[in-house]
Amino acid sequence: MTYTTNFLKSQPSTEKPKQEEETLISEEDDEFLSSLPKEKGWRTPHLFLFQGFWCQPKEIRAIISTQNHFKAQDSDVVLATIPKSGTTWLKALTFAIVNRNKFSVQPDNHHHPLLTHNPHELVPFLEYKLYADCNRLPDLSLLPSPRLVATHVPFGALPSSTKTSKCKIVYICRNPFDTFVSIWHYLNKVRPESLGPLPIEEAFDMYCRGVIGYGPYWDHMLGYWRESLETPNKVLFLKYEDMKVAERNQLKKLGEFLGFPFTEEEEKEGRIQDISSLCSFQNMKDLEVNKKGKGAISGFENKDLFRKAEIGDWMNYFTPSMFERLSNVMEEKLEGSGLKLTAC
């Protein structure tokens, strides 16, 4: 069985010429943006405080469009993440689990969609792909069922239908130390030359103050964490580190939650391991589709989505004072929540 992404081809392209990408929206001429608090941005001149979290101008427009128009179905799956916390991996794993009866995950299947498509093509972002063009609404009837979509927005900013429907929400978070290093590397790669490089010291200060796209990250995590405690059949909260250390058990949990549990026969036949191997970081990174081309997310290079995916890489960048500051911030912000995050 072949897989097509006609549903994406029908969507407006989000790839922009470099100059237009750098300019984005004329902030000074936008009355709405001028009414919002703003700070220096990581990839754009400014970030704006919108609905309690920090956003880039184009993202705000797309989020508003998503909130106004996206109607979740009971069978939908929404993958929610903080940027650079395992988003690409979660998309690949979820797609493989949900569609394993359509597309064999056995090693001898050389035609699996994940071998020829970037995971972001198979599980499109609401704000970066489907609703990126505010002047044109997507035809979601073209999305394969069950519909798999993704978002970076906090729980409170999700379209109301995702909360009132029976759709499933899967959230993954990563320890804030590695997340910072990963996002700093990534945004420096895609940061316009006109803005110059963002020194790690300056970026770290912004991060600790919560001034980061979709941040503060502690609010982002706590929103989904609390919902997962209140409605565990609705929201599944996963930790990146748990996925890396005990992937088999975590994949069983994910399959069960999504309504696609692994049978005893599948377990004996090694289907969980097949999915793990197919979606492994090294396998994904080595695929031609992920080494070349761009556009899986906006107009960025696909290869920039894959760096190290290691636990504890932050130790190569943090000074003792940086570790102490972020540790104190997270201890204060997560106090009493029951959410425990480890640095390594």
Residue that the structure tokens 């909130």 belong to: 67
Active site annotation includes 220: no
Phi/psi at 247 (5° precision)? -60, -40
Residue 146's CB is within 10 A of a number of other CB atoms, namely 17
Q: Which one-letter DSSP state was computed for residue 110?
A: T
Residue that the structure tokens 């992920």 belong to: 290
Question: How many Å apart are CA 286 and CA 24, to the nearest integer?
Answer: 33
Residue that the structure tokens 């770290």 belong to: 204
Question: How many Å apart are CA 267 and CA 66, to the nearest integer?
Answer: 38
Question: How many Å apart are CA 274 and CA 171, to the nearest integer?
Answer: 23
* Contact (Cβ atoms closer than 8 angstroms) between residue 158 and residue 172: no
Question: How many Å apart are CA 50 and CA 205, to the nearest integer?
Answer: 20
Of 112, 117, 120, 152, which is the active-site residue? 152
Phi/psi at 172 (5° precision)? -125, 135
Question: How many Å apart are CA 150 and CA 94, to the nearest integer?
Answer: 11
- Which region holds residue 335: left if phi is over 0, alpha if psi is between -120 and 50, else beta? beta
**Across the chain, how many H-helices and E-strands are there?**
18, 7
Question: How many Å apart are CA 36 and CA 133, to the nearest integer?
Answer: 22
List residues with catalytic annotation: 152
